[in-house]
């Protein structure tokens, strides 16, 4: 593969960005803080590829952190966006496109009877938590260590060592009071879950989780964990929130809840429902959603919510997924990649674990299964950094942290996967 290690213009642009943007980036995940070095500055995307300002080409396994399930610049999306732009960019008034997308989401997502569009995944989870508290009249919420739900004050908490540890802020600027009603449990820990509900069940407004974790790397829930969670929430009138910002329409046409057969009360969505445009949504049972203003008293608003350009992009994406139903293809491609990466590690004598659900997966440099935050953080991050740069220099664009997830798109081919695996074998051999 072509050597893409030379990126002088990216160096120049990063130095420029550092002078006017904190850390030189507008989201920390782009900063290469976990792996070191300078990020390539991307000029354009096309199908399964990214091209940087130095003219380097990369096979892209990030897809803008998940939205580009159809690859970059899919013709249906570009056509829909161009048509929407002909009518304007924003009106601050209802449009037909909002109902079109809402109806499709209601049709496809098992838990959603009504849905409210917002502008980001963070806004969706923030609104879902407020809704659950307003609907139940309770204050306490539960999240799981390693699950990221956006930069919401009440959810920016770190886990303590005990199962029933109250959250303490994990970011300056978040008052202790904002997290005083947030409990953190270990992911996949059924006994801790049962203990929490035994002690706090009548106080719990909501439990929120990623049904497949993507923000401590890809971590897969056990069937017992999800089934127990659903049963306990039902028994205690606690709102179960699935954060499907990442998994929504990624792991199946009916999202993770359809794949696993577990229906939450409220679902948050993002990424794919905007096709790369800034979009989020939260939806659920009609009786819960009718607690939202202007029908109910729980207030949430947004000037740009339901933006017509974003609605056009999301609608085109979902319609294409319905038309093509590419999930068997995505499953096959991702399995080819996962199997090959595991073989590359074994051939090099390097212990690795591969966690995969559908077209999202993570390679952990770890000699034990990864099932929660504790086992994920036992991975060898220094070795990952070497792996990441070795792959980047061979033209493969991967997530720049051991604790992120890569994504396969319909634009990838078996031949591109094989090229990736050739780069992986060469990189592993040098670690």
Known catalytic residue at 271: yes
Q: Any bridge partners for residue 357, and if so which?
A: 360
Q: What is d(CA 90, CA 395) in angstroms, rounded to the nearest whole number?
A: 38
Known catalytic residue at 148: yes
Give the single-character DSSP code of 428: H
Which helix (H) or strand (E) is 181 found in, with range? none
Q: Which domains does the chain have, with CATH numbers?
A: 8-61+326-429 (3.90.1150.10), 75-324 (3.40.640.10)
Of 243, 265, 372, 380, which residue is the catalytic one? 243
Q: What is d(CA 275, CA 169) in angstroms, rounded to the nearest whole number?
A: 32
Residue 182 contacts residue 166 (beta carbons within 8 Å): yes
CB within 8 A of 173, min separation 6: which ones? none
- Please report how many Cα atoms fall inside a 13 Å half-sphere around the Cα of residue 106, on the Cβ side: 14
Dihedral Cα 163, 167, 168, 170, nearest 10 deg: 100
Residue 97 contacts residue 91 (beta carbons within 8 Å): no
- According to the model, what pLDDT value does residue 429 have? 96
Q: Any bridge partners for residue 117, and if so which?
A: 281
Residue closest to 258 by CA, chosen among 197, 350, 321: 321
Alpha-carbon 390 to chain mean position: 25
Residue 386 contacts residue 46 (beta carbons within 8 Å): no
Which helix (H) or strand (E) is 207 found in, with range? strand 204-209
Known catalytic residue at 203: no
Say what the pTM is: 0.95
Bridging pattern class, strands 353-357 and 396-397: unpaired
- According to the model, what pLDDT value does residue 171 have? 67
CB within 8 A of 275, min separation 6: which ones? 67, 68, 70, 74, 77, 313, 314, 316, 317
Of 271, 327, 380, 397, which residue is the catalytic one? 271
Phi, psi of 266 (to 5 degrees): -135, 145
Bridging pattern class, strands 239-243 and 266-270: parallel
Helix and strand numbers (H, E) in the chain are 14, 17
Residue 298 contacts residue 122 (beta carbons within 8 Å): no
Residue 143 contacts residue 184 (beta carbons within 8 Å): yes
Query: Could you tell me the mean pLDDT of each successive run of 10 residues in the chain, 431 residues long?
Result: 90 96 90 91 98 98 97 98 97 97 98 98 96 97 92 65 44 73 94 96 97 95 98 98 98 98 98 96 98 96 95 98 98 98 97 98 98 95 96 97 96 98 97 94
- According to the model, what pLDDT value does residue 169 have? 57
Bridging pattern class, strands 114-118 and 280-284: antiparallel
Phi, psi of 235 (to 5 degrees): -65, -30
């Amino acid at each position: 593969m072509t050597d893409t290690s030379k990126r002088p213009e990216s160096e120049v642009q990063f130095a420029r960005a550092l002078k006017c943007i904190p850390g030189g980036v507008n989201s920390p995940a782009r900063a290469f803080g976990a792996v070191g070095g300078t990020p390539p500055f991307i000029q354009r995307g096309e199908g399964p590829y990214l091209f940087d300002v130095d003219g380097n080409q990369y096979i892209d396994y990030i897809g803008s952190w998940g939205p580009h399930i159809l690859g970059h610049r899919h013709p249906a999306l570009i056509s829909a966006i161009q048509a929407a732009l002909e009518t304007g960019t924003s009106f601050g008034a209802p449009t037909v496109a909002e109902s079109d997308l809402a109806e499709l989401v209601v049709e496809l997502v098992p838990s959603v009877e009504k849905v409210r569009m917002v502008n980001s995944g963070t806004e969706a989870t923030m609104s879902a938590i407020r809704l659950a508290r307003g609907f139940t009249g309770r204050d306490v919420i539960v999240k799981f260590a390693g699950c990221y739900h956006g930069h919401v004050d009440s959810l920016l908490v770190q886990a303590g060592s005990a199962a029933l540890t109250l959250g303490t802020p994990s970011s300056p600027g978040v008052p202790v009071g904002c997290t005083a009603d947030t409990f953190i449990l270990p992911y996949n820990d059924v006994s801790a879950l049962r203990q929490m509900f035994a002690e706090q069940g009548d106080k719990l407004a909501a439990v929120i989780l990623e049904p497949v974790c993507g923000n401590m790397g890809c971590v897969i829930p056990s069937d017992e964990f999800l089934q127990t969670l659903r049963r306990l929430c039902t028994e205690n009138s606690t709102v179960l929130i699935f954060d499907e910002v990442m998994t929504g329409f990624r792991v199946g046409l009916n999202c993770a809840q359809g794949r696993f057969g577990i229906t939450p009360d409220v679902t948050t969505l993002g990424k794919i429902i905007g096709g790369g445009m800034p979009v989020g949504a939260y939806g659920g049972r009609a009786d819960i959603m009718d607690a939202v203003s202007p029908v109910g008293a729980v207030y949430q608003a947004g000037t740009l919510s339901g933006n017509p350009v974003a609605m056009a992009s999301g609608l085109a994406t979902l319609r294409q997924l319905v038309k093509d139903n590419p999930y068997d293809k995505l499953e096959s491609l991702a399995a080819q990649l996962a199997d090959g990466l595991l073989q590359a590690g074994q051939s090099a004598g390097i212990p690795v674990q591969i966690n995969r659900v559908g077209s999202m997966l993570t390679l952990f440099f770890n000699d034990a299964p990864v099932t929660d935050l504790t086992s994920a953080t036992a991975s060898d991050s220094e070795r990952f950094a070497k792996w990441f740069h070795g792959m980047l220099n061979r033209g493969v664009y991967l997530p720049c942290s051991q604790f992120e997830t890569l994504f396969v798109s319909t634009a990838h081919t078996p031949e591109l996967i094989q090229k990736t695996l050739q780069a992986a074998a060469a990189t592993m051999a040098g670690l």
